């Protein structure tokens, strides 16, 4: 099932206990779900009855501040609900940019979906403090 959210087409796949969310550039100029990325993805997770998500970013053309802000909002919402959020799929300059940001301290990056899910249920980080 695909959605159009913010600047992305979003592919969804259900797995045991997890919702896999893949972001990629839009294929058409179809109407998009309103609101920011973080809140929209959280609403999708709630529609699917889960609070455990892996966001796959290998289809993203470029990591920018808007994407990072959306992930930060999503992380806050997931943590508030007692869930788990993992990201994977970044490489090269995008991975370097992500690892240099403050969010990376609270939301580690994994190389693949399998690695993200297999990492265990241990807690990664402290709650993000307001700026």
Q: What is the domain partition of the chain in residue ranges?
A: 2-118
**Residues 28, 48: Cα–Cα separation, whole Å:** 25
- 75 or 7, which is more confident? 75
Which CATH superfamily includes the segment(s) 2-118? STAS domain (3.30.750.24)
pTM, rounded to two decimals? 0.84
Residue 47: exposure state from Cβ atoms within 10 A (0-12, 13-18, ≥19): exposed
The per-residue pLDDT for 78 is 96
CA 93 – CA 48 distance, rounded (Å): 33
The pLDDT tens digits for 19-66 are 999 998 877 666 555 568 999 999 999 999 999 999 999 999 899 999
Task: Give the tens place of pLDDT for each residue, 75-124.
Answer: 999 999 999 999 999 999 999 999 999 899 899 899 999 999 987 554 44
């Amino acid at each position: 099932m695909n959605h159009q959210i913010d600047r992305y087409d979003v592919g969804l796949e259900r797995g045991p206990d997890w919702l896999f969310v893949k972001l990629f550039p839009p294929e058409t100029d179809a109407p998009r779900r309103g609101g920011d990325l973080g809140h929209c993805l959280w609403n999708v997770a709630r529609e699917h009855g889960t609070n455990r998500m892996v966001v796959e970013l290998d289809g993203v053309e470029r990591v920018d501040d808007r994407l990072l802000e959306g992930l930060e909002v999503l992380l806050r919402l997931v943590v508030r609900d007692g869930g788990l959020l993992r990201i994977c799929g970044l490489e090269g300059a995008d991975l370097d940019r992500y690892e240099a940001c403050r969010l990376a301290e609270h939301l580690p990056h994994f190389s693949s979906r399998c690695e993200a899910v297999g990492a265990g249920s241990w807690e990664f980080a402290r709650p993000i403090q307001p700026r």
